[in-house]
Amino acid sequence: MIKQFVPQEFCLKCRGCCRFREADSVWSPCLMDEEIQLLLDKKDIPAASISIERRIQLIANPNGVDFICPFLSSLSNKCAIYDIRPFECQLYPFLINLRKDKILLTVDLNCPYVCEKINSPEIKDYISYLAGYLNSPEQLKMLKDNPRLIQAYEEVREVAELIFPHEIK
């Protein structure tokens, strides 16, 4: 598990993440094969919750016009799979981003907690921790085995350079 940056009590009040503008959003978490198997092994997780592209299949938000993760309770704002949530969910509001020939660690500035802490020593320490974690041999192998986790997100802020694509091929 990745050490979390945003405190749980802040997340539960925010109601920002796990919500999407489109049903096929690039922001919908990609799943590794072992994550898919773990979710399917859990008896209350329907296979329809996973798209053919190995992403979490978003559903219409019962409280609005957007889409939400099928594991998010729109009432409590809690995740039904929090204890086994996918890597990209653990990483958020940080993202692994492909820009030109570089793989970067970026952060979603739509997260109010990140915006509040963006220039703090706390976030700088966390970015250092996260860059070290993601550049470890185990995580580099995981990225090599799961290149779909490296996306081209827009409206994010670059915070660290990770690795070059040729280093994980």
Do 64 and 100 lie in one domain? The reply is no
State residue 160's pLDDT score: 86
Domain range for 145: 93-167
Write the pLDDT tens digit of every residue in 75-89. 899 999 999 999 999
Cα 90 from Cα 166, distance rounded (Å): 25
pLDDT score of 65: 82
Is 3 domain-assigned?
no
On whether the CB atoms of residues 102 and 164 are closer than 8 A, the answer is: yes
Per-residue pLDDT of the chain (169 residues; tens, 9 = 90+): 899 999 989 988 888 889 999 999 989 999 999 999 888 887 677 778 889 899 999 999 988 789 999 999 988 999 999 999 999 999 999 999 988 878 899 999 889 999 999 999 999 999 999 999 999 999 989 998 999 899 888 888 989 888 654 555 5
To the question of pTM greater than 0.75 for the whole model, the response is yes
**Domain end position, chosen among 84, 102, 126:** 84
Name the DSSP letter for residue 82: G
Identify the three-state secondary structure at position 157. strand
